[in-house]
Chains A and B, each alone.
Chain A
Amino acid sequence: MNFKHKFVFLLPGLIVLIGILIFPIIFTVRLSLSGWNSFNPELDFVGIKNYIRLFTDDPRFWESFFRLSFLAVTTVFLQYIIGFALAHMVWKDIKFKRFFRVLFLIPMMTTPVIMTVIWRTFFHESLGPLNDFLSIFGVQPQWLSSPGLAKISIIIVEVWQWTSFMFLLMLAGLLSLPKEPFLAAAIDGASPFKKFMYVTFPLMAPISIGAIIIRLIEASKIMDTVFVLTSGGPGTATETSSFYIFIKGLREFQMGYAATMSFTYLIIMIISLTIIAKVLTKVLMKE
């Protein structure tokens, strides 16, 4: 088979790839070099003016980015710990194992936006059942209108919604582990803690890295929870990069500038996730 024939077979896939991935990226880059806004809706060329504005005159973007980093790392860390613990629990022979396996997956099966609306009602400061209960102890936390608690509320919702996914990945990993290392550890007289530290955890390291990276990518796109729960507030206390880009692009129609932020955000995410993956490999796999 010569080169041309191969190309014919590859072409459908390449066209789809170019259409859905490469074209939007190239268009975003071009758009980021334009001054497209609601007053001037055309693809003109303004050079790197938008980039200069982003790097020198927009602290709100960087604040939202660091806020996002904090939220993403915290939620994924908690999801990993809880997901791993739950997976470890139902991996062992316990009663009602199958029931628990399904139960822990339920949050993932629900619609995030609808669940966030339910959570918003739950956290409602005057009408919500949570504060109704806490009033017994004489406290009425401002879950959604205090900057610190609003962040915690978002973390709780995100952890509740996505721990199931981490649980699923970790359980699949645990079920695929060879049994010999565990038998050998039993023969060596290792305690359950030592078995976990020296057998389970190292064997799960590659799966853990994959799961954490997948969840970090997803968590860095956090939008619906913020939109429904706090709308970025109070003030900008829970505003994340994607939400800020959404405001600039689709509320204020500064399309050129929103494209600049999107592309910058994409580059930062590629670099930081690559570094995180390497660091995780070094730390978890001790390589």
Chain B
Amino acid sequence: MAKIELNNIAHSYNPHDANPLFALKEMSLSWADGGRYALLGPSGCGKTTMLNIMSGLVTPSHGRVMFDQKDVTHTITEERNIAQVFQFPVIYGTMSVYENLAFPLKCRHFADDQIDKKVKEVAEILNLQDFLKNRAKGLTADQKQLISLGRGLVREDVAAILMDEPLTVIDPDLKFRLRRKLKEINAKYKTTLIYVTHDQNEAMTFADNIIVMDEGEVVQAGSPKDLFERPQTTFVGYFIGSPAMNLYECQADNTNQVSLGMNTISVQTNLDQKNTSNLKLGIRSEYITVEQSSGPNTIHADVIEVEDFGNYKLITAQQDSLRIKAKVKREQVVPTDKVFLKFPAEHCCIYANNKLI
């Protein structure tokens, strides 16, 4: 295991062109040994490129990759001690489950008794011990994905296990179980796990550190709580959370007050001496409350729709051009025509030029 650092990394697939296009814009990141990370972002944002740079499948056009202070930028994949799980399960179809798990060790010329011990240990963790003699080809998609993961786990020298949307082919219930299994593995072996996904739920439930990417840039890195409560950009606010964060254009009235259409909303952000052009107010639908009467930070809006999602209700309300989405408890009584919605000041985020103030 190792600490992985990306120093001023950038990657362009046409670096020698007059105007190179960068799949990954310059950034520096550090991945602590034994951490559980998720790389989150929409398709084409550079997640897989970053992952492939770490595994050595792609050599970055700029910057350096360091494993425990050692420069491995130009080290080939085989010598990097990285394990990678791909979106679709990769198994050796002609081999048994046992042979599949043993393969990375055999390639590294381990002794048979060592291989046997390690394979059985990993098979037990992954609940594959009953299938060891079976042909890998005949297993289900999730079992095959476990084999892919197992080939990374049998190696004790693995610096990190990189997973590129590994649960795409697996049904929701199994996804949940496998994510739990991955957490257990991380806790037991202290292996650094880096998980690429475009699914925020997967990222939020799996990782203790999430790196959100957009258009080749890291837009925010932090814990699930940070990303949810204090999104650093409007993109993160929009991308994380279901429904997306409510975002409205607003004007600064004074140091901690903004006007939102015909409403005045108090916020805890100090707007004094800050760049107050192109301001936006963002608030999570989870923090908007339904009130019985008008009051401070309350907006009186028409109820457009109330959707019952079983464990919560989603209110869609509108006041002129402001469309507000509020998530309330299922038991909450919601008026059918007009509703008072309160924006608690402590949960209002103010963005100038799409960046959190």
Q: Do A and B come together as binding partners?
A: yes
Task: Show the binding face of A for B, using Cβ within 8 Å.
Answer: 178, 180-181, 183-184, 186-191, 194, 198-199, 202, 286
Find residues 143-183 in chain B having any chain A CB closer than 8 Å to their own CB. Answer: 148, 151
A198 to B151 alpha-carbon distance, docked (Å):
15
- Number of residues of chain B lying within 8 A (CB) of chain A: 23
A198 to B92 alpha-carbon distance, docked (Å):
6
| CB contact under 8 A between A202 and B94, given known A184-B84, A187-B82, A188-B103 | yes
A contact residues around B187 at 8 Å (CB): none
Is there contact, CB below 8 Å, between B148 and A184?
Answer: yes
Is there contact, CB below 8 Å, between A184 and B107?
Answer: no
Find residues 63-117 in chain B having any chain A CB closer than 8 Å to their own CB. Answer: 76-78, 82-84, 86-88, 90, 92-95, 103-104, 107-108
B contact residues around A178 at 8 Å (CB): 88
| CB contact under 8 A between A189 and B83, given known A202-B93, A202-B94 | no
Majority SS at the chain A contact face: helix
A contact residues around B21 at 8 Å (CB): none
3 A-B pairs closest in CB distance: A189-B107, A184-B90, A188-B104
Asked if B32 CB lies within 8 Å of chain A CBs, one says no
A189 to B103 alpha-carbon distance, docked (Å):
9
Asked if B57 CB lies within 8 Å of chain A CBs, one says yes
A181 to B136 alpha-carbon distance, docked (Å):
14
Which of B57, B90, B104 is within 8 Å of A181, CB to CB? B90
Which of B78, B87, B135 is within 8 Å of A187, CB to CB? B78
B contact residues around A181 at 8 Å (CB): 90
Is there contact, CB below 8 Å, between A199 and B92?
Answer: yes
A181 to B144 alpha-carbon distance, docked (Å):
13
Asked if B59 CB lies within 8 Å of chain A CBs, one says no
A188 to B86 alpha-carbon distance, docked (Å):
13
Q: How far does the Cβ of A268 sit from chain B's closest Cβ, in whole Å?
A: 32
Q: How far does the Cβ of B243 sit from chain A's closest Cβ, in whole Å?
A: 34
Is there contact, CB below 8 Å, between B107 and A188?
Answer: yes
Asked if B55 CB lies within 8 Å of chain A CBs, one says yes
A183 to B82 alpha-carbon distance, docked (Å):
12
A60 to B31 alpha-carbon distance, docked (Å):
77
